Amino acid sequence: MRREEIVHAAREVFSAKGFRNGSLSDIAERVGITHQGVLHHFGTKEQLLVEVLRDRDTTGRAALADASNPRGARFLHHVLNTVTTNTRRTGIVQAYTVLSAESVTEGHPAQPWFRTRFTTLRQDLAEALGEACDAAEPVAREELERGAAVLVAVMDGLQVQWLLDPGAIDMTAAVRMTIDALLTSWGGRPLGPA
C-alpha cells in the first residue's frame, strides 16, 4: 500500500520536474515519510523510476484488457492512442526517454527491464502488424519483426525530437504514417479509422 503511494507520488514528481530534477525528498514529502523511507522501499531513484514505468505499462495493459484484449488493427489503434496520450504527459515521456537511453550504459539497474520490454513489445507488434496486414500473401515473420523494431524505434526517436521542439513534430501523425507505409509496402491496406 505504502509502495503504491510512493510510486504514484514519484510519477507526479517526475512528470512535473523530470527525472533528473525531481528529488527523492520531493517524493518523500508528498507521502509524508523521509527520504530514507523511500530508499528503504526502493533502494535507488533509478529503481523507483523503473517501478513508475512498470506501473504505466500495467495501467495501459489493464485498459487493454477492458477493451477485451484487442489484436491486429485494433492493437495498432491502441498504440496510436497511447502516442496521443503521451503528448499530454511531458514529464513521463521525458523520464522514459532519459532512462531508456541511460539504460544502455554498463551495469545500469534498468537495463534488464528495458531489454525485456523491447523484446516483448517487438513480438506483440510483429503479431499485430501481421494480422492487420490483409495482403494476398502472408508477410514473412522476419519482415514483420523488422517492421516491429522500426515501429518501436519511431515512437522512441520521435519523443526526443518532440521534447526538443514540440511545435515541429506531430507524433501521432508520424507514427500513423509509419504504420501505413509498412502495411502498404507489404501489399496490405493502410490502417483506416479506429
Nearer to a copy of itself, 38 or 83 (CB): 83
Site residues for a copy of itself, 90-119, by CB under 8 A, read 94, 97-98, 100-106, 111, 114-115, 118-119
CB 131 within 8 A of CB 73: yes
Q: Is residue 140 a contact point for a copy of itself (CB under 8 A)?
A: no
In a 3-state reduction of DSSP, which class is residue 68? Answer: coil
Residue 56's CB: how many other CB atoms inside 10 A? 17
Nearer to a copy of itself, 39 or 150 (CB): 150
Dist. CA 118–CA 122, nearest whole Å: 6
CB 120 within 8 A of CB 144: no
**Residue of the chain from 88, 136, 164, 167 that contacts a copy of itself (CB under 8 A):** 164
In a 3-state reduction of DSSP, which class is residue 35? Answer: helix
Q: Alpha carbon of 4 to those of 15, 86, 110, 129: distances in Å?
A: 16, 22, 19, 35
* Total residues interacting with a copy of itself, rule: CB under 8 A: 49
Site residues for a copy of itself, 24-53, by CB under 8 A, read none
Binding site for a copy of itself (CB under 8 A): 18-21, 94, 97-98, 100-106, 111, 114-115, 118-119, 122, 143, 146-147, 149-150, 152-158, 160-161, 163-165, 168-170, 173-174, 177-178, 180-182, 184-185
